[in-house]
Amino acid sequence: MPIVRISLFPGRDQERKDAVASEITKVFSTVMGIPTADTIVLFEEIEKADWYRSGVPYTRNVAEQPE
């Protein structure tokens, strides 16, 4: 049974998450032959303040990048 864990910033509406979960489930079914009932998709919404890249808070990484 595949468990797909997706970590992302908060703010996506339920409709978008439903669509993503549905498509991921279809891929596992089509490509790997796994019954749709056996695929689990988890969304973890993590605040930007809790993300780090290269040891630096995401909020500071974004603020320092040129546009």
Residues 19-67: tens digit of each pLDDT = 999 999 999 999 999 999 999 999 999 998 899 988 888 888 665 555 4
Give pLDDT, residue 64: 59
E strands within the chain? 3-8, 40-45, 52-53, 56-57
With beta carbons less than 8 A apart as the criterion, state whether 31 and 66 touch. no
Report field, pTM of the whole predicted structure over 0.85: no
Give pLDDT, residue 63: 57
Contacts (Cβ under 8 Å, ≥6 apart) of 58: 48, 49, 51, 52
Give pLDDT, residue 26: 98
pLDDT tens-digit map of 2-14 = 999 999 999 999 9
Give pLDDT, residue 62: 62
